[in-house]
Structure 1
Amino acid sequence: MKTSIQIEVRPTEIDVMGHVNNAKYLEYMEWSREDWYNRMELPFDVFTDMGVGTVTVNININYRKEALLGQKLTVSTEPLCKGRTSYVLKHEICNEEGELVADAEVTSVTIDLKKRKSVELPEKLAKAFT
């Protein structure tokens, strides 16, 4: 399932170049990713109750167009692919004109919270990729 959130660029997110600082795009994507988990009925406490955590292990991001102060952005998240212990979520950030501002593929791994070792994807998470 693809989900999306709406945000407005705030003054604290602008760098000396007058556009959104590169690190903020990752934060926007994280907010969208958390929304995706919640809509999939997999909020943080559900993972914790299973003794499982998710760890981001790789981010490949493309910065396509400047985002400026006050712009309204749509940040989307959708499942891309899964392995035995890892999975990839795709993010896109678009401006009000529908132009692609940034996109990324974020790879995460599920881990046993006590052993701190990777474990198979919980069934409920794996089903999100079918």
Structure 2
Amino acid sequence: METFIEIEVRPTEIDVMGHVNNAKYLEYMEWGREDWYNKAELPFDRLTEMNIGTVTVNININYRKEARLGEHLTIYTQPVKKGRTSYTLKHVIVNEAGERVADAEVISVTIDLETRKSVPIPAELGVLFST
């Protein structure tokens, strides 16, 4: 299941170089992941009811093209692969011209909220990945 959100680059996201600060792309991707979980009917509250948390353990990001103030960006999120306790989501950010601005693979681990230890991916999350 691929999802997407659209945003407009705001003044607070621009750095001294006049383009989006590199750290903001991570935030954009986090918004994309939250939207993906919500559309998959696995919002934070639902995962909490299952005593499951998700922890980001690795992000490999490629910055392809600068984005500037006022640009409209689309952040695509899709599942890539799953393991026993970890899974990978891919993000692609494109500008209005359809040019790739950034892309990343984000690896997360599911944890038991009480023990704070990794646990197997719940079936409700696992079914969203093709193996």
TM-score (structure 1 length as normaliser): 0.99
Question: What's the counterpart of residue 117 of structure 1?
Answer: 117
In the alignment, structure 1 residue 10 sits paired with structure 2 residue 10: yes
Structure 1 residue 91, shift from structure 2 partner: 0.1
Which residue pairs with 1:20 in the alignment? Answer: 20
What's the offset of the Cα at 1:100?
Answer: 0.2
* Structure 1 residue aligned with 2:52: 52
Deviations 1:6-59 (A, max 9, x none): 000000000000000000000000001000000000000111000010000000
For structure 2, the residue ranges without an aligned partner over 5 or more in a row are none
Runs of 4+ that moved beyond 2 A? none
Code of the residue aligned with 2:24 in structure 1: it is K
Any residues of structure 2 matched to 1:7-86 within 5 Å, and which? 7-86=7-86
Give the number of equivalent residue pairs: 130
Report percent identity of matched pairs: 73
**Matches of 1:116 and 1:3 in 2, distance apart?**
29
Distance 1:46 1:30 in 2: 18
- Shift in Å at residue 65 of structure 1? 0.1
Secondary structure of 2:29's counterpart equals helix
Secondary structure (helix, strand or coil) at the match of 2:109 reads: strand
Distance 2:64 2:51 in 1: 38
Distance in 2 between residues matched to 1:45 and 1:16, nearest whole Å: 38
Aligned AA (1:116): R
Unaligned runs of 5+ in 1: none
RMSD value over aligned CA atoms?
0.4
Q: TM-score, normalised by structure 2?
A: 0.99
For 1:72, the aligned partner's letter is H
Q: Which amino acid aligns with 2:85?
A: T
Structure 1 residue 61 displacement after superposition: 0.1
